[in-house]
Amino acid sequence: QQQVKQSPQSLIVQKGGISIINCAYENTAFDYFPWYQQFPGKGPALLIAIRPDVSEKKEGRFTISFNKSAKQFSLHIMDSQPGDSATYFCAACWANNLFFGTGTRLTVIP
Amino acid sequence: KAGVTQTPRYLIKTRGQQVTLSCSPISGHRSVSWYQQTPGQGLQFLFEYFSETQRNKGNFPGRFSGRQFSNSRSEMNVSTLELGDSALYLCASSLQRESGNEQFFGPGTRLTVL
């Protein structure tokens, strides 16, 4: 059973546009929600993370929006660049165990 | 500070063999977790070690095992390899065990089972 549901599976965005990736979870024991970026041949790299007592966190062009009552969170990438083309994974953490979404392959067209 | 290192980077084995993968965490990190990544199942948690003790285990058969040494380096072993074990095996280290600690991933070991 997939503990974290992620959508869309793939996303194509024009350079300068906004990329939005959504995730949903069921287990209310999760207490930390990171987003990872993965390039081909590399391990996932932490982008940004949020705790459930915060509704939004912004770091540069990356913003997490968190809705605790709906058990949903999303990643917004502002001013998307071709270098952002990668696979993005949301995750939910409990007891230092990460449960990952299925990933979103983002392509930013120049 | 050096990142998480994993060796070897690539492995080819045949069914029935066993394999040992190695992970060196970031200096000072005491928690090491292992994940399996496949196109079909995505990223799945295998197990976590902290202070040489397995703290958590994912939903994998007993053929998958691991250990951690006193210097926090970790190894995972897969016995009686099956075709379905072909995957990228990722190791991640974090400073402590509590949730909210950043987990830093290594580049992974690509295992191919023929």
Give the tens place of pLDDT for each residue, B53-102. Answer: 999 899 999 999 999 999 999 999 999 999 999 999 999 998 876 666 78
Average pLDDT over residues B30-59: 92
Backbone angles phi, psi at A23, to 5 degrees: -140, 150
Q: Is B30 in CB contact (< 8 Å) with chain A?
A: no
Which pair of structure tokens corresponds to residue B84? 């379905």
**What is the tens place of the pLDDT at every residue in A69-104?**
999 999 999 999 999 999 999 999 987 788 999 999
Q: How many CA atoms lie within 13 A of B100 on its CB side?
A: 6
Task: Please say if the pLDDT value at position A57 is more than 70.
Answer: yes
A44–B43 C-beta distance less than 8 A: yes
Q: How many CA atoms lie within 13 A of B97 on its CB side?
A: 11
Which pair of structure tokens corresponds to residue A61? 């062009």
Contact B91, B7 (CB under 8 A): no
Average pLDDT, chain A: 94
Of the candidates A88, A107, A90, the residue with the CA atom closest to the CA atom of residue A99: A90
**What is the tens place of the pLDDT at every residue in A65-76?**
999 999 999 999
Specify the pLDDT at position A96: 79
Cα distance from B31 to chain A (closest Cα, Å)?
9
Burial A36-72 (b: 16+ CB within 10 A, else e): bbbeeeebbeebbbbebeeeebeeeebbbbbeeeebe
Average pLDDT over residues B14-26: 97
Comparing CB atoms, the residue among A43, A51, A103 nearest residue B105 is A43
**A87, closest residue in chain B (CA to CA):** B42
d(CA B40, CA B17): 23
> Taking CB atoms and an 8 Å cutoff, what residues of chain B touch A99?
45
Specify the pLDDT at position B86: 97
